[in-house]
């Protein structure tokens, strides 16, 4: 009797549960018509795609900062790989050595050369304004309707840019904060990049992960070579410009160009931005040169073309053969677009971003043609 009552109690409880969870009927959101249901599903997918694009537009400035951190991390990673050929020590120690060396270089630059460069930098705006005033007066004497305010307005718009990064990040915390963010995130990327690679690969369908790792490995290799070549070009242009401006003119009886060290430093830094950086540094160099007379101004024009021709016809082709060859017009177009959209940060990162897009398209084409086999997850170097 006990077992029977227990069993009947269980059966009654089950019936009550079934009654409680009885199907309430069709949902008011359910669409009976299969065609309408299919169209509604497709509309939902398109809505999600549009929403994703909208989200990417609104967080594009943060994505660009993250990409800048990846570029910096790739540069540190390239230095650690060079050290690995001579020092068989753990990767974290090699990354630490690279960061210490870079920090020591900037400390040396600040303490040993900082006093001279800071004095030159204080005089630099006055010389540029004076030379611009002379150039405007000359153009006005030739009938050109141009004013100093027009030049200053144009220069201010170029310097500030109209990009969302400059407004959203630079306007609130300043450009220094953006740089610090890039450096900190880049260091985390450089210490152990495989964590982030596996995290992204986890979100990729399993059948496409081999292609993902293949593309990623080629992009990382290309970016390391591209940044190494860029650093070599920056060092060459900055050092050679300083030597030629400070000492080269003595061979033909011309006094040293004022602010040679500052002009060399600016030329080296602006060399990170292809095409546009060379134009800006050349204009500054020539303006300072003509402040010392016609002969000095013509000599600075000679130095500018000598440095840029050697860099363009010797260094850049050698570097391009080792990395990715980008058409100059394509690079300049990308710089203009990213400069308008994101300001100075977009201008600086347009070249590496364009290179990554090109590598991704090339690897996708090669994989679809069956020319290469996809690789598995790479091991840390």
Interatomic CA distance for residues 261 and 267, integer angstroms? 10
pLDDT of the residue at 2 = 47
Q: How confident is the model at residue 164 (pLDDT cuts 50, 70, 90)?
A: very low
pLDDT of the residue at 100 = 92
Give the pLDDT confidence of 29-57 residue by residue, as tens digits: 666 677 877 888 888 888 888 988 888 77
**Is the pLDDT at 169 greater than 70, yes or no?**
no
Count of beta carbons in the 10 Å neighbourhood of residue 43: 10
pLDDT of the residue at 254 = 82
Tokens representing 209 are 């992960």
Contact 223, 211 (CB under 8 A): no
Contact 266, 316 (CB under 8 A): no
Residues 6+ apart with CB under 8 A from 362: 218
pLDDT of the residue at 119 = 65
Name the pTM for this structure: 0.69
pLDDT (average), residues 150-175: 46
Tokens representing 376 are 């598995």
What are the CA-CA distances from residue 67 to residues 18, 74, 119, 209, 234 (Å)? 56, 10, 35, 21, 21
Residues 6+ apart with CB under 8 A from 375: 210, 213, 214, 217
Instruction: Please report which residue ranges of the chain form alpha helices under DSSP H.
Output: 2-20, 34-58, 60-84, 91-111, 114-141, 148-160, 164-165, 171-173, 175-191, 193-202, 209-246, 260-270, 276-290, 294-310, 316-322, 328-369
SS3 291: coil
pLDDT of the residue at 203 = 85
Give the pLDDT confidence of 347-371 residue by residue, as tens digits: 888 888 888 998 888 888 888 887 6
**Is the pLDDT at 74 greater than 50, yes or no?**
yes
Tokens representing 315 are 């260094």
Look up tokens 């100075």; give the residue.
344
What are the CA-CA distances from residue 26 to residues 41, 356, 377 (Å)? 18, 50, 48
Give the pLDDT confidence of 291-336 residue by residue, as tens digits: 778 888 888 899 888 888 887 767 766 666 666 667 778 888 888 8
**Is the pLDDT at 280 greater than 50, yes or no?**
yes
Give the pLDDT confidence of 175-198 residue by residue, as tens digits: 677 888 888 998 888 888 888 888
């Amino acid at each position: 009797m006990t077992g029977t009552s227990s069993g009947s109690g269980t059966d009654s409880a089950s019936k009550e549960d079934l009654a409680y969870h009885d199907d309430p009927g069709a949902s008011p959101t359910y669409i009976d018509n299969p065609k309408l249901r299919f169209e509604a599903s497709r509309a939902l997918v398109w809505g999600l795609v549009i929403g994703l694009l909208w989200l990417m537009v609104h967080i594009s400035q943060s994505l660009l900062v993250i990409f800048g951190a990846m570029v910096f991390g790739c540069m540190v990673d390239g230095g650690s790989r060079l050290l690995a050929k001579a020092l068989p020590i753990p990767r974290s120690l090699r990354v630490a050595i690279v960061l210490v060396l870079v920090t020591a270089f900037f400390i040396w630059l600040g303490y040993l050369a900082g006093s001279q460069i800071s004095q030159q930098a204080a005089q630099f705006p006055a010389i540029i304004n004076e030379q611009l005033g002379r150039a405007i007066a000359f153009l006005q004497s030739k009938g050109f309707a141009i004013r100093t305010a027009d030049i200053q307005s144009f220069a201010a718009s170029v310097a500030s840019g109209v990009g969302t990064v400059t407004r959203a990040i630079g306007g609130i915390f300043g450009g220094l904060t953006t740089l610090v963010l890039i450096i900190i995130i880049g260091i985390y990327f450089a210490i152990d990049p495989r964590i982030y690679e596996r995290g992204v690969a986890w979100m990729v369908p399993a059948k496409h992960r081999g292609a993902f790792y293949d593309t990623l490995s080629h992009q990382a290799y290309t970016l390391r070579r591209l940044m190494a070549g860029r650093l070599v070009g920056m060092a060459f242009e900055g050092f050679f410009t300083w030597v030629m401006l400070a000492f080269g003119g003595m061979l033909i009886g011309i006094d040293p160009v004022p602010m040679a060290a500052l002009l060399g430093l600016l030329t080296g830094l602006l060399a990170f931005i292809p095409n546009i950086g060379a134009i800006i540094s050349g204009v500054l160099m020539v303006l300072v040169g003509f402040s010392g007379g016609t002969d000095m101004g013509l000599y600075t024009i000679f130095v500018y073309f000598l440095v840029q021709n050697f860099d363009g016809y010797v260094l850049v082709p050698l570097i391009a053969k080792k990395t990715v060859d980008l058409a100059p017009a394509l690079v300049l177009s990308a710089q203009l677009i990213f400069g308008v959209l994101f300001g100075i940060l977009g201008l600086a990162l347009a070249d590496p971003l364009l290179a990554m897009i090109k590598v991704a398209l090339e690897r996708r084409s090669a994989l679809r043609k069956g020319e290469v086999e996809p690789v598995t997850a790479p091991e840390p170097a």
